[in-house]
Amino acid sequence: MKCGKMNRIFNNKIGLVFLLAWPTALFAQEPAVPAEHNVLAPPELTPADQSVTAFRFYGEMGLGGSVYMNGPDQHKYSDGTYIEGGLEVKKGNWFGLIYGEGWTVQADDKGNAWVADHSWGGFEGGINRFYGGYRTDKGTELILSMRNDSSLDDLQWWGDFTPEYGYVIPNTRDLTQAVKVQNLTGRFRYSVTAAPQSRVNESKALLHFGKYDRYSDKYTYQTMVNGYTQFDLLEGLTLLNGLELTDGTGQLVLAGLQGKNLVGRVWHHTGKGDGRHPGSESGMMLSGMVEAAKGLYLSTAYSYAEHKLDNAPDTTTSYAQAGIWYEYAGGRLATALDSKFYMTNDNTGASNSIFLMQYFYWGKS
């Protein structure tokens, strides 16, 4: 889920405004797929005595999912229930984290996974962060990992203030062995991650939760490096530039601009189309939000992407969102509502949908 992204935004007290009017929808249908799950960044752990080893267990759980509004699966429910948690360790300049996640899998009576409007068929999950690092007194971090997010994955929801349905940019996300160097302090910030080729899949997973568990299959990828820079042009106005280079699966360039009220990003990927056919993808997303009351945030966004496919007809993705996020009980609870409506220039055959989720957090402070 994108709840980690939402909490970082709200804790920073960013003021936002409404961006889009309610869109004209295209009645279409998309297959049920696993929900996107995005973990919270490790909370800042600063023991009073730097010579003492400090520990903290934290995590979150979400109950809910999506309902399709039209098409063959109209009114059917797609579950997004999940749980995640981990242990953070810090001593002086040294730090580490082990963090796991998992979610339910809906399945029909024929054993097909991720089928809407069916009962829980099983569970999928694993370790998604397992790393250690050293942070200099000036803020530069060197991180070595057996599981970690890439630098661009850390920014997956940058430029997206909506609770759930924001466009997923096609950068490499979850990594096995990798090295990350970053400094996220000051006016100029950067992060770079490099990883060798990985052939890890579920057959090599240390944890396996049955026939519906395909969690570790995402750790198969080519040699890659990606990273970004952020520069505060003015107070409340940040410029973002990102780049990914891979060995045979395309290159990605990313740029964005975030102000106090609006944020936008654009990208181009030379070789990944929609993930099923080789080809390129170019897109943009605009988003905005307003705090209507204490802890209550209203958000909206518009996403557009063109997929130039080599082995299939070109497609266009175009949809708008309207969402609500309400955080309460000192940040220990949150409720989210998001909606996605495809525009008339979309030709993907995807379905309009409504998302509702109740979140629970522990160890945040």
pLDDT of residue 312: 86
CA gap 227, 178 in Å, rounded: 13
- In this prediction, residues 265-286 reach a mean pLDDT of 84
Does residue 76 surpass a pLDDT of 90?
A: yes
Give the C-alpha distances (Å, rounded to integers) separating 52 from 43, 142, 365: 18, 21, 18
Which tokens belong to 212? 């519906």
Domain that holds residue 269: 3-362
| Domain count of the fold of the chain | 1
pLDDT of residue 364: 66
| pLDDT tens figures, 13-57 | 333 333 433 334 333 434 333 334 334 454 567 666 777 899 999
CA gap 70, 170 in Å, rounded: 27
pLDDT of residue 38: 38
CATH number at 214 reads 2.40.160.10
CA gap 76, 286 in Å, rounded: 29
Nearest residue to 93 (alpha-carbon basis) of 43, 39, 54, 41: 54
| pLDDT tens figures, 220-243 | 999 999 999 999 999 999 999 999
Mean of the per-residue pLDDT values of the chain = 87
pLDDT of residue 336: 97
| pLDDT tens figures, 151-207 | 999 998 898 999 999 999 999 999 999 999 999 999 999 999 999 999 999 998 988
The proportion of the chain whose per-residue pLDDT surpasses 90, expressed as a percent, equals 74
pLDDT of residue 1: 53
3-class secondary structure, 321: strand
Least confident of 98-107, 128-137, 204-213, 238-247: 204-213
pLDDT of residue 39: 40
| pLDDT tens figures, 281-334 | 999 999 999 999 999 999 999 999 999 988 889 999 999 999 999 999 999 999
Core vs surface per residue 104-132: b (16+ CB within 10 A) or e: bbbbeeeeebbbbebeebebbbbbbbbbe
Least confident of 60-64, 343-347, 361-365: 361-365
Q: Are 334 and 6 in contact (CB under 8 A)?
A: yes
